[in-house]
Amino acid sequence: MRNTNLIRLAVPLVLLLLISSCSKNDRFADDTSNKVFNQGDAPGGQNAAQGPHGIQEIKVTGKGFYTEINEETVSFTIHALRKTNGEVSGNVSFTSSSLDFGGDVECVNLVEGKLVVTGVIKQLNKNTRSFAYIGIMYQLTFEDNGDGTGATADRMSGISVGAPFSCDAFNLATPNEIQGNITILQ
């Protein structure tokens, strides 16, 4: 009982710290929409599709799982697109022992060669703990290391939930080697 009360106190405090560390300008580049149109330092080159404001098209698809240090399995699927006009669409599903949700993708951005995805939880499924609710934000980071013989495994972050995340970067660490594939096209 005592541990449960400590956890109930700790989670809101951590969320409060995360929220207070983000300024409104970090979260929204366009105050007229809930979509984030950040460009980060995405690699461009001559072949990258870009809109009139230099926004690069990015498409990501993927599916897989990884095993956490406690031997629990985390699985995910993602399908998202950022068009050259900045419009973002897509969805994510994420399942772990404590969080099982479906969410909309609201931002896709390449930062230091890693794909940052943020969005809003739209559906909660079984096994979800009380720290998550419909409408709360999430962030995931993915690393596409190529396909084929000799390619190293793709990687992803753990999930961050709660704060109004910046799509420029919050958690760029991708410690989890996934079984599956992430494909990021520019």
Residue 23 confidence (pLDDT): 31
Helix, strand or coil for residue 111? Answer: strand
Residue 31 confidence (pLDDT): 30
Residue 168 confidence (pLDDT): 78
The residue ranges of the chain whose pLDDT is under 50 are 1-48
Residue 52 confidence (pLDDT): 64
Distance, CA of 58 to CA of 35 (rounded, Å): 15
Burial of 166 (0-12, 13-18, 19+ CB in 10 A): buried
Residue 82 confidence (pLDDT): 97
Q: Which residues pair with 140 in a beta bridge?
A: 117
